Chain A
Amino acid sequence: QKEVEQNSGPLSVPEGAIASLNCTYSDRGSQSFFWYRQYSGKSPELIMSIYSNGDKEDGRFTAQLNKASQYVSLLIRDSQPSDSATYLCAVYTATGGGNKLTFGTGTQLKVEL
């Protein structure tokens, strides 16, 4: 089982719709969770962090965390073509040498006009 799993997509949504991106993780002890956006040919950009169960909103983005289900999601409201990118879920997992940020393989989002 992969440590952080995401559906690779592509996930296609029409402009103005809500895009829902999901991620599951295997380390039950994980405490910190992040969403990154990566445009093609560019490096990842941190867009959301969440540490507690529930929802965290920032502009059009809402991160949701459910530690009991080991599930974290990202909602993008009023999706725009500029939101088209790969979204990476990242989780701090404990290793012998300390905590390591483990990335999922990413979900490609396409927002269509």
Chain B
Amino acid sequence: GAVVSQHPSWVICKSGTSVKIECRSLDFQATTMFWYRQFPKQSLMLMATSNEGSKATYEQGVEKDKFLINHASLTLSTLTVTSAHPEDSSFYICSARQGARGGQYFGPGTRLTVT
């Protein structure tokens, strides 16, 4: 299957700082990438859809000024959590879709802890 990487795998930051998470599709080009958040024992929550070369589409209730998404190339999308607070602590997972009907392949996730 297709490979998607994420970096970093975990990060601890202080409240008020910003954190950038990178998502890369390693062996295919992804015009569309997705960012999810998952709290413990809860299901995946789609935050936004990232399209290469255009603005991301955010789901209802997700603050676009707080969660900045950039999809600068066909293999890289970044999520920046700005002015992080403890309630932003979560497991952030990106995925990339291979083809128009293909399944989404997930990165290994980034565990963010804001102290």
Contacts and interface: CB of A to CB of B under 8 A. Distances in A.
A9 B54 CA distance: 40
B57 A49 contact: no
Interface stretch (A18-26, A77-85, A95-103): A95-103
Contacts of B43: 88, 103-106
A43 B101 contact: no
Interface stretch (B13-21, B80-88, B105-113): B105-113
Most A C-beta atoms less than 10 A away, residue of B43, B101, B108? B43
B57 A46 contact: no
A101 B97 CA distance: 10
Interface in A19-64: 31-32, 34, 36, 41-46, 49, 51
Contacts of A42: 108-109
Interface of A: 31-32, 34, 36, 41-46, 49, 51, 88, 90, 92, 97, 100-101, 103-106
Interface of B: 1, 34, 43-44, 46, 49, 57, 91, 93, 97, 101-109
